[in-house]
Amino acid sequence: MTGELPARTLSSKLVVVARAASAADYGAVLDALAEGGVQSVELTLTTPGTFDAFSALRSSFDGDLGIGTVTTLEQLERAIEVGADYVVTPITSSALVERAVDAGIPIIPGGLTPTELFASWSAGASAVKVFPAGQVGPGYLKDLRGPFPDIAVVPSGGVDADSAAAWLAAGAVAVSVGGPLLGDAFRGGDLGALRDRAQRFVAVCAGSDRPAGQPA
């Protein structure tokens, strides 16, 4: 196996998925997320320029920085080359998992059915991404743990603060969150409000309630 997910991702139990119109938009949003206590961010390859911007962002962000929406071996090789802390895929691909295992980089491959998820897990994935999680709900993890008691699951897709708490209570090792946390941040939205939302999600994932007076 590739081993566990990076330490800060595991301890915070929260991965924020950053999907922007351009990699030039990442910097200010990452700063606000860091101010809100976020320790792990997945930069997506659907954002143009992600690879070119990665090294500079990696040096300025105090946390784990991964690369997501990896669907080809070429993309995986580039993610390894630029120093991603982990990679995330939206698909089940034995070739991607096997290469990540060989390279020693944590990988979280996506899947939905028990067959897909177990195939990636048994091939050595660090965790498996249940995607789209909003189509099944936290009860699905309880069902998966019947035949696969040790499987490490990260739900992604439609996870908000309430469902994040439910997924973690059901045994997820972390949750992957995009729109419900980022909101309009990549469309000129208030970065202070983004920081506040980040603080709320961080508190939820840490198992504590929202701080007094903290906006929802």
Active site residue 13: no
- Buried b / exposed e along 165-183 (16+ C-beta atoms within 10 A): bbbbebebbbbbbbeebbe
* Annotated active-site residue in 13, 42, 81, 116: 42
Q: Name the nearest CA neighbour of 129 among 149, 112, 104, 150.
A: 112
Helix, strand, coil share of the chain (percent; to 5): 45, 15, 40
Close Cβ partners of 74 (under 8 Å, ≥ 6 residues apart): none
Other beta carbons within 10 angstroms of residue 55's beta carbon come to 11
Active site residue 98: no
Q: Strand 153-155 to strand 175-177: parallel, antiparallel, or no bridges (unpaired)?
A: unpaired
List the catalytic residues. Answer: 42, 129
